[in-house]
C-alpha cells in the first residue's frame, strides 16, 4: 500500500483489492502509453517536420512528456516558443499529420500481454473501449491495424467539436453509446490527463505504471489504483466484480 493507494504487481505480492461497490461492465482504455507504445512513430513524425525547418529535435524520452493532450498540443510544445502562434501551429500540425500518416504503425506495438488481457476481459463478459486525444482517424486505423476489427466495442478519438481529455465529453459519449452508467465503468490510462478525466467523469481509474509517465505522476495526480503490469488489470477486474 502507498498511503491510501492500492498498487498491484510484484511489489505488493500480487494482492488485489476491492475498489468499488458496483459491478463493472466496461473498461475504457487510453491508447498511447496504455495499449500501445507509439512514442517512436510520434517522435519520428514530429522530428521530420522539425528537421525540415532546421528546428531543434527531441529524443524519445522527451516526447513522452510532450504527448498526452492531442496532436495539436504536441506540435505546439515541440515548436520553438517564438513560433507558437495559432496560425503556425495549424500549419505545422498539417505537416505533422502528413508525416505521421506515413508511419503511424511502423514502430508502434502493443505492450506485452495487453492482447491477452483484452481477451480475458472479453471472455468474462466485460466490454472494452478506447478513448484517445489523438485524431479519430488515426485512432481507428491504429487500433484496427494492431488489434483487429472486433477487439473493442467502441473506439473514440478526437473529433471536431468535442474537447480533449481531461474534459469528460468523450467518456460521456462512450457511456451513452454503450448504455453504461459511470459507476459501471473504469478508465485505464498512463498519465495525469487520464486520472483527471476519470475524476471529471466520475469514473474509477486504474493508472498504468508501464506507460509514458510512470508511477510518480499518477500518484501526484491522485490515482488510487496503480497497475504495475498489464496482467494486474485482470486481477483488479476480478476483485471489482468479485469473480
pLDDT at position 241 is 66
In angstroms, the CA 7 to CA 14 distance is 9
Gap between the Cα atoms of 207 and 216, Å rounded: 11
Query: What pLDDT is attached to residue 242?
Result: 63
Region of poorest pLDDT, from 35-39, 118-122, 164-168: 118-122
b/e per residue 101-118 (b: at least 16 CB within 10 A) = eeebeeebebbebbbebb
Q: Is 153 a catalytic residue?
A: no
pLDDT at 150: 74
Using pLDDT thresholds of 50, 70 and 90, give the confidence band for residue 225: confident
Q: Tell me which residue of 154, 204, 198, 150 sits closest to 20, measured CA to CA.
A: 204
Residue tagged active-site, from 30, 32, 153, 204: 30
- 238 or 84: which carries more pLDDT confidence? 84
Q: How much is the pLDDT for 95?
A: 99
More confident residue, 224 or 222: 222
Of the CA atoms within 13 Å of residue 224, those in its CB half-sphere come to 14
DSSP, res 164: P
pLDDT at 11 over 70: no
pLDDT at residue 77 greater than cutoff 70: yes
Q: Sheet containing 26-29: which strands, arranged edge to edge? A: 6-8, 225-227, 204-208, 185-189, 26-29, 127-135, 154-158
Element (H, E) at 160: none
Return the closest-CA partner of residue 203 out of 119, 117, 129, 122: 129
pLDDT exceeds 70 at position 2: no
% of the chain at pLDDT higher than 90: 81
The mean pLDDT value for 19-36 works out to: 85
pLDDT at 18: 36
Over range 215-222, report the average pLDDT: 94
φ/ψ of 55, rounded to 5, equals -85, 155
Read off the pTM.
0.89
Q: Note the Cα 146 to chain centre separation in Å.
A: 15
CA distances from 152 to 18, 142, 146, 149 (A): 25, 13, 12, 8
Q: Buried b vs exposed e over 83-95: b needs ≥16 C-beta within 10 Å?
A: eeeeeebeebbeb
Q: What does the radius of gyration of the chain's CA atoms come to, in whole angstroms?
A: 18
What CA–CA distance (Å, rounded) separates 211 from 33?
4
According to the model, what pLDDT value does residue 149 have? 77
Residues 192-214: pLDDT tens digits?
999 999 999 999 999 999 999 99
Q: How many residues does the chain have?
A: 243
pLDDT of 236 higher than 90:
no
**What does the pLDDT look like over 144-192, one tens digit per residue?**
999 997 789 999 999 999 999 999 999 999 999 999 999 999 999 999 9
Q: How many CA atoms lie within 13 A of 144 on its CB side?
A: 13
What is the rounded distance in angstroms from the CA atom of residue 19 to the CA atom of residue 207?
A: 13
pLDDT at residue 240, as a whole number: 65
Neighbours of 144 (CB within 10 A): 14
Domains for the chain: give ranges and CATH numbers: 6-37+109-240 (3.40.50.1000), 39-103 (1.10.150)
Instruction: Mean pLDDT check: name the lowest of 23-27, 84-88, 178-182.
Output: 23-27
Mean pLDDT of 14-25: 52
Residue-by-residue DSSP string for 95-134: HHHHHHHHHTTTS-EEPTTHHHHHHHHHHTT-EEEEEEEE
Amino acid at each position: 500500500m502507498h498511503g491510501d493507494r492500492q498498487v498491484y504487481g510484484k511489489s505488493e505480492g500480487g494482492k488485489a483489492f476491492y475498489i468499488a461497490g458496483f459491478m463493472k461492465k466496461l473498461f475504457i482504455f487510453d491508447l498511447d502509453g496504455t495499449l500501445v507504445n507509439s512514442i517512436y512513430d510520434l517522435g519520428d513524425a514530429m522530428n521530420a517536420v522539425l528537421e525540415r525547418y532546421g528546428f531543434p529535435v527531441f529524443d524519445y524520452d522527451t516526447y513522452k512528456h510532450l504527448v498526452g493532450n492531442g496532436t495539436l498540443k504536441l506540435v505546439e510544445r515541440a515548436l520553438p516558443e517564438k513560433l507558437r502562434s495559432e496560425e503556425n501551429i495549424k500549419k505545422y500540425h498539417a505537416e505533422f499529420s502528413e508525416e505521421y500518416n506515413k508511419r503511424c504503425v511502423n514502430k508502434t506495438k502493443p505492450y506485452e500481454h495487453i492482447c491477452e488481457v483484452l481477451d480475458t476481459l472479453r471472455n468474462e463478459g466485460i466490454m472494452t473501449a478506447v478513448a484517445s486525444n489523438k485524431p479519430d482517424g488515426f485512432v481507428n486505423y491504429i487500433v484496427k491495424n494492431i488489434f483487429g476489427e472486433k477487439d473493442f466495442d467502441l473506439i473514440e478519438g478526437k473529433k471536431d467539436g468535442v474537447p480533449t481529455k481531461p474534459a469528460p465529453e468523450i467518456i460521456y459519449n462512450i457511456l451513452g453509446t454503450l448504455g453504461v452508467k459511470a459507476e459501471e465503468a473504469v478508465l485505464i490510462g498512463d498519465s495525469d490527463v487520464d486520472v483527471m478525466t476519470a475524476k471529471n467523469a466520475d469514473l474509477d481509474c486504474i493508472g498504468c505504471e508501464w506507460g509514458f509517465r510512470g508511477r510518480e505522476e499518477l500518484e501526484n495526480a491522485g490515482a488510487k489504483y496503480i497497475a504495475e503490469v498489464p496482467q494486474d488489470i485482470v486481477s483488479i477486474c476480478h476483485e471489482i466484480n468479485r469473480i
